[in-house]
Chain A
Amino acid sequence: MGEEVKVFRTWSSPFALRVVWALDLKGIKYETIYEDLSNKSPLLLQYNPIHKKVPVLLHNSKPIAESLVILEYIEDTWKHRPLLPQDPHQRANARFWIKFGEDKVFPAVRDSLLKQGKEQEEAHEAALESFKLLEEELKGKKLFGGEEIGMVDIALGWLANLVSVLEEVLVLKFIDEHKFPLLSAWMRLFADIPVIKQSWPPRDKLVTKYIAIREARLATN
């Protein structure tokens, strides 16, 4: 077919992992280009001049940036093994939860890492509140996509591995098995799916990375 698919990523970017998972689930072949964000390549800057970040998907010389936009592009382009339901209302529901993950869940967890004192407490509280809503949404389902991984699972998948890393780094509990049984079960199930499992970054490296990020942030305060 002569399709050229390239993924610009880093070894640990949770956003880039979304793109990797989507392509792997659909069985699309691609070349991986690892970026060093402290020394961005001219190609990355050319392909994502606005945000200068990973991931970037390059498909037949067309660059697409922003992981959630890339997921929709992958879904629009390769229609087999769909990641979104067919029904418009169910698709809207999936997009709603993807947005919820981005607007509420992620910032709360991120701020729990980056802040301290009262601000950290508030971020942690907000994270727990957001997990309650995810727990509700999982009622009657084993995955957000139902029986199979869908775009919501992919968008929230960073939880399945980063939460335990951050719990270790911060000595703070996020997803307690007893408070969030469905979410805990989802994280285990998701993490164990072969396509997902094979791409997790090494845990010890992640712990080191996030300790360093927190220390750097606290040092600037």
Chain B
Amino acid sequence: MEEQKSEAVLIGTWRSPYCQRVELALKVKGIPYEFIEEDLSNKSELLLSYNPVHKKVPVLVHKGKPIAESLVILEYIDEQWGDSPKLLPEDPYERAKVRFWANFYDQKIMPATLPIIMSKGREQEKAIDDMNELLREFEDGMKRDFPGKFDFDDSQNLGFLDIVVATYAGNYKAFNEAVAVAMSPEKTPQFWSWVNALKEHPLIKETLPPHDKLVAKMREKFYGQTTNV
């Protein structure tokens, strides 16, 4: 039946922020989808056939055709389901600014968490400082390029950058508990008050992984610690 083919299927994992981005985008647009939980230690034939290049999640399958890479998927969702609410602004210059900062977040800020996870003591402190330097740059960028960005209230629609940031920074409490208190509001207060406001948005609230489960998973994944949770 035609209905089957037009259904959206998301192959992902419950703890991947990249997968949560896609979920949020689909939810914002009100698109029904099926979520297939992937076991990354034992990748399915489905995943390998739909993302042979990277063999990673998320993969969105729509009308039987796969799309990979979270930011590419977000742009696809915005174009395929072109009605409002729009994830990206209409104006080309505004779009360019959003894309610039989404790339900055993915290419600079997200990788900066790895040295924090992998180090201890003084080295870790330095890695935390480096991360905060980047967050400060990001915070300044938001203020300069998107005046009013930090006045987010949860009755607003989520946009591209809200989705990109909330899915990673939104898990800061779990990170602080499992790894180190790296994300401290005093250093970039406006950024974190924005993140906290985003976390109150109903869609984000229901999509971010449960705290305790995520802490346990982080400890297991980063440090090989298993807990009875």
Contacts and interface: CB of A to CB of B under 8 A. Distances in A.
Contacts of A95: 69, 72, 75
A194 interface: no
A91 interface: yes
B68 interface: yes
Interface stretch (A7-15, A66-74, A212-220): A66-74
Contacts, number: 60
A96 B80 contact: no
B137 A73 contact: no
Scoring A70, A92, A95 by chain B CB atoms within 10 A of each residue's CB, the highest score goes to A92
Contact of A69 (B63, B68, B100): B100
Interface of B: 53, 62-63, 65, 67-69, 71-73, 75-76, 79-80, 92-93, 95-96, 99-100, 103-104, 137, 141
B79 A50 contact: no
Given A66-B103, A88-B79, A133-B53, 13 more contacts: A50-B137, A69-B103, A72-B95, A72-B99, A76-B92, A76-B95, A89-B65, A89-B76, A92-B73, A93-B67, A95-B72, A96-B69, A99-B72
B145 to A, nearest CB: 10
Given A91-B76, A95-B69, A95-B75, A72 B53 contact: no
Interface in A97-130: 99-100
Interface of A: 50, 59, 62, 64-66, 68-70, 72-73, 76-77, 88-89, 91-93, 95-96, 99-100, 133
Contacts of B79: 88, 91
B103 A92 contact: no
Nearest to A100: B53
Nearest to A64: B96
B188 to A, nearest CB: 16
Contacts of A73: 92-93, 95-96
A35 to B, nearest CB: 19
A76 B73 CA distance: 18
A38 B203 CA distance: 48
A22 to B, nearest CB: 13
Nearest to A70: B96
Contacts of A68: 103
Nearest to B137: A50
Contacts of B80: 88-89
Contact of B72 (A64, A76, A96, A133): A96
A93 B72 CA distance: 8
B154 to A, nearest CB: 29
11 contacts: A68-B103, A70-B96, A73-B93, A73-B96, A76-B96, A88-B76, A89-B67, A93-B67, A95-B72, A99-B69, A133-B53
Nearest to B99: A69
